[in-house]
Amino acid sequence: DVVMTQSPLSLPVTLGQPASISCRSSQSLVYSDGNTYLNWFQQRPGQSPRRLIYKVSNRDSGVPDRFSGSGSGTDFTLKISKVEAEDVGIYYCMQGTHWPPFTFGPGTKVDIK
Amino acid sequence: EVQLVESGGGLVKPGGSLRLSCAASGFTFSNAWMNWVRQAPGKGLEWVGRIKRKTDGGTTDYAAPVKGRFTISRDDSKNTLYLQMNSLKTEDTAVYYCTTYVMDVWGQGTTVTVSS
């Protein structure tokens, strides 16, 4: 199974400042069709997860443009350009290239300093 | 509006069984591959299994910890996804979410507690 790791696991941020989360996979996530199936999810306290980014860098509908995804191969990054209070929560990366199973990272908890 | 609504969670003793349901609306359910994902208390997300649409064979795949104990099925006439859970263990305690295959839609989750 593909192992997903994230760093940091805890990220205290100042409102209005940028934040960055790293995600690494144990093998390349490039699929045979040329796509890279790496997603990012946000889970606010007490809520269901919500997909933010799919295929590395594509924002879902309604996701603010302060969120961006990048990366390739085995190294990926989620960036928040200016953190807002509503961004508090846990962020997960997930690979959908080598399945089954789909595998998630351990999560990065973002909170306000 | 695309919506998934899970139900059927509850308290069950180890070794017991439970069936979860997920009612889908707002999209053509019969065309959709679907997943179950779970989250143990205070823990991260864990994929449980997936079912393809019937035109793709309707086949299923499962995560290793649940294989042989859990069964995913669907009733396209009722727009409903199911998760039959047998031989439940305390480590199956979690919130169970149904999601679309690409996980762009999630339900609100239903809580399963396995305890004596």
Over residues A69-81, the pLDDT tens digits come to 999 999 999 999 9
Residue A37: other Cβ atoms inside 10 A: 19
CB contact under 8 A, B46 and A54: no
| pLDDT at A28 (0 to 100) | 98
**Range B11-31 average pLDDT:** 98
CB contact under 8 A, A100 and B50: yes
Place of tokens 């396209």: B76
**Range B84-98 average pLDDT:** 98
Residue B106 pLDDT grade (very low, low, confident, very high; cuts 50, 70, 90): very high
pLDDT in tens, B43-52: 999 999 999 9
Distance (Å, rounded) from C-alpha A83 to C-alpha A81?
6
Distance (Å, rounded) from C-alpha A14 to C-alpha B80?
44
> Using the 8-state DSSP alphabet, how is residue B48 labeled?
E
Put simply, whether A49 touches B (Cβ < 8 Å) is yes
Q: Is the peptide bond before A8 cis (omega within 30 degrees of 0)?
A: yes
**Strand ranges for B26-93 from DSSP E:** 34-39, 45-51, 60-62, 70-75, 80-85
Residue A86: other Cβ atoms inside 10 A: 9
**Range B19-27 average pLDDT:** 98
Residue A33: other Cβ atoms inside 10 A: 8
**To the nearest 10°, the Cα dihedral for A56, A98, B110, B40?**
-90
Q: Which of helix, strand or coil describes residue A106?
A: coil
| pLDDT at B22 (0 to 100) | 98
Cα nearest neighbour of A97 on chain B: B102
Residues of chain A predicted below pLDDT 50: none
Q: Is beta strand A19-25 parallel, antiparallel or unpaired with respect to A75-80?
A: antiparallel
Cα nearest neighbour of A94 on chain B: B45
| pLDDT at A78 (0 to 100) | 98
Of B45, B63, B64, which has the smallest distance from its Cβ to A49's Cβ?
Answer: B45
